[in-house]
Amino acid sequence: MSAAFVREQTLAPRPAPFAATGVKAWVGQRLFATPRDIAMTMIGFAAFVLLAMPLIRFLFLDAVWQGENRDACAHVLTGACWPFVAAKFNQFIYGFYPADQLWRPNIVFALGAILLVPLAVPSAPWKRLNAFLFLVVYPVASFVLLTGGNLDAEHFILGYFIRIEDHVDLVWHGMRAAFWLDYAFSSLVLSLAVALIGWLFGTPLSTSLKVMVGLFALLALVIAPADADFGLSWVETREWGGLLVTLVVAVTGIVAALPIGILLALGRRSEMPLVRWASVAFIEFWRGVPLITVLFFATYMLPLFLPGGANIERLVRALIGVALFSGAYMAEVVRGGLAAVPKGQYESAAALGLGYWQTMLLIVLPQALTNVIPGIVNNFIGLFKDTTLVQIVAILDLLGQIRSAFSDPNWASPTTLYTGFAFAGAIYFAFCFAMSRYSLFLERRAGASQLRMEANRT
């Protein structure tokens, strides 16, 4: 059937009218569509010029780029003094790390990037191996590289009661036979003791023994490289500083926060009263105390309580404080995620015959953690910026090093202060912005998989 007024061929598509696409259309529609839009655009543009132009002038146009000391910058009132940053750059990044050993933190930085990038890209292969390398091997390797390793451990537990080293005086690549004999013997005794207690309450001997020996063997694998002598010189943590310390504190906090947080969150929802109360007490204690107080306490009070000579290094004390603190906060975020997982999921898992840990690891936690990615990353970003609080206990992180350089009479000038803060701001922004963008990406990806799941269901 055909009618004269019905076309039989489709018309060739014509390009959209010029005014509807392209830059001009975009500008016309978005910026100048109505008088109100025009006014807003003008105001916005004026604000941009007013705010951004002085910044661009300060950072680039009026800035001083070359010079040996303050004489280059002293006369400039509106421009940054970049030679100051250039001269102090190594201090801002590494602190007082010995100059001839800088390759060590460099390797740690590079290794971190090499391992982190494929871990962050979803399509990269060997995720399990990669995660193992990043979460287990990398911290130990970093520890050895940054401090020099070779802990020279003498006693574990037994050694404090019996002087084993008087009988066994063997040292192999920095590892003392006396210590390792002590370690083997003490861990065996401890495992047996735990197994016996378990047996009294009905756990089979072999089960507890397997778990305990496994734990001690794992610990040994971590201690051994740290104890061995790789010929690296020892660099005390007091010599670390700058971005290195910022990253060490932040990464330790971030890496420690998630496992501590997950365990505490599960503990808080546990049906065993003792575990629940202990978790609640821990979480509420650390959440009730400001980080500054934690750092103060760890730095100033703890040494007075510890007997003389038993000083743990300052940075280590701060690290422990930060790890526990961030763990407690993370616990509450994870608990939020756990609460959002429907009860049916637990029940289905139980119906399938899964045990507690299987339910948690295979069914609940993957959903719970996906739900709270924004919260987790939010915590990480907050923690990254909070690391700068270590300044108040005289650990010179990035900002601390920069501030300490302000008073150098060799560089004192009207804009030294602003230049230093601009540099610090740029670095902090780069890290935090990268983290937040990555979290957005993860969310979108998780959202897409959720959509796929729902599509499959229907």
- Per-position DSSP letters for 46-94, written without gaps between them: HHHHHHHHHHHIIIIIS-B---SSGGGTTT-SSS-BHHHHHHHHHHHHH
Report the nearest approach of other proteins to the CB of residue 151 (Å): 5
Q: Name the segment binding other proteins (CB under 8 A); options: 89-97, 118-126, 381-389, 423-431.
A: 89-97
Say whether 15 sits in a helix, a strand or coil: coil
Comparing CB distances to other proteins, the nearer of 345 and 404 is: 404
Phi and psi for 272 in degrees, rounded to 5?
-85, 120
417 near other proteins, rule: CB under 8 A: yes
Report the nearest approach of other proteins to the CB of residue 327 (Å): 19
Report the nearest approach of other proteins to the CB of residue 377 (Å): 31
Comparing CB distances to other proteins, the nearer of 85 and 108 is: 85
Comparing CB distances to other proteins, the nearer of 168 and 354 is: 168
CB atoms within 10 A of CB 97: 21
Burial of 413 (0-12, 13-18, 19+ CB in 10 A): buried
Continuous H helices in 201-301? 205-227, 242-268, 273-288, 291-296
Report the nearest approach of other proteins to the CB of residue 86 (Å): 9
Q: Name the segment binding other proteins (CB under 8 A); options: 26-34, 195-203, 269-277, 307-315.
A: 307-315
Number of helices (H), then strands (E), belonging to the chain: the values are: 19, 2
Say whether 230 sits in a helix, a strand or coil: coil
- Interaction pattern, residues 253-272, with other proteins; x per rule: CB under 8 A: --------------------
Comparing CA positions, the residue from 208, 323, 353 lying closest to residue 263 is 323
235 near other proteins, rule: CB under 8 A: no
101 near other proteins, rule: CB under 8 A: no
224 near other proteins, rule: CB under 8 A: no
Report the nearest approach of other proteins to the CB of residue 384 (Å): 22
- Per-position DSSP letters for 374-435, written without gaps between them: HHHHHHHHHHHHHGGGGGGGT--BHHHHHHHHHT-TTT--TTHHHHHHHHHHHHHHHHHHHH
Q: Which of 58, 64, 67, 70 binds other proteins (CB under 8 A)?
A: 70
406 near other proteins, rule: CB under 8 A: yes
Q: Name the segment binding other proteins (CB under 8 A); options: 36-44, 72-80, 192-200, 207-215.
A: 72-80
Q: Collect all residues with Cβ–Cβ distance below 8 Å to 326 and sequence separation of at least 6.
A: 253, 254, 256, 257, 260, 261, 379, 383
Comparing CB distances to other proteins, the nearer of 106 and 311 is: 311
Total residues interacting with other proteins, rule: CB under 8 A: 58
Is the four-CA dihedral 84, 88, 89, 95 of positive or negative sign?
negative
CA distance linking residue 455 with residue 448, whole number of Å: 10
Comparing CA positions, the residue from 68, 73, 72 lying closest to residue 417 is 73
CA distance linking residue 65 with residue 83, whole number of Å: 6
Comparing CB distances to other proteins, the nearer of 364 and 399 is: 399
Q: Name the segment binding other proteins (CB under 8 A); options: 131-139, 165-173, 372-380, 408-416.
A: 408-416
Q: Which of 187, 246, 252, 299 binds other proteins (CB under 8 A)?
A: 299
405 near other proteins, rule: CB under 8 A: yes
Report the nearest approach of other proteins to the CB of residue 345 (Å): 41
Q: Name the segment binding other proteins (CB under 8 A); options: 114-122, 282-290, 296-304, 373-381.
A: 296-304
228 near other proteins, rule: CB under 8 A: no
CA distance linking residue 244 with residue 396, whole number of Å: 10
231 near other proteins, rule: CB under 8 A: no
Q: Which of residues 132-161 bind other proteins (CB under 8 A)?
A: 147, 150-157, 160
Comparing CB distances to other proteins, the nearer of 17 and 409 is: 409
34 near other proteins, rule: CB under 8 A: no
Report the nearest approach of other proteins to the CB of residue 109 (Å): 18
Q: Collect all residues with Cβ–Cβ distance below 8 Å to 186 and sequence separation of at least 6.
A: 156, 157, 158
CA distance linking residue 345 with residue 297, whole number of Å: 43
Say whether 109 sits in a helix, a strand or coil: helix
238 near other proteins, rule: CB under 8 A: yes
> Residues 383, 385, 388, 390: what is their CA dihedral angle, to the nearest 10 degrees?
-10
Report the nearest approach of other proteins to the CB of residue 159 (Å): 9
Q: Which of 43, 46, 47, 392 binds other proteins (CB under 8 A)?
A: 392
Rg (CA), the chain: 29
Residues making contact with other proteins (CB under 8 A): 70, 74-75, 77, 87-88, 90-91, 95-96, 99, 147, 150-157, 160, 223, 226, 234, 236, 238, 299-300, 303-304, 306-314, 316, 392-394, 396, 400, 403-410, 412-414, 416-417
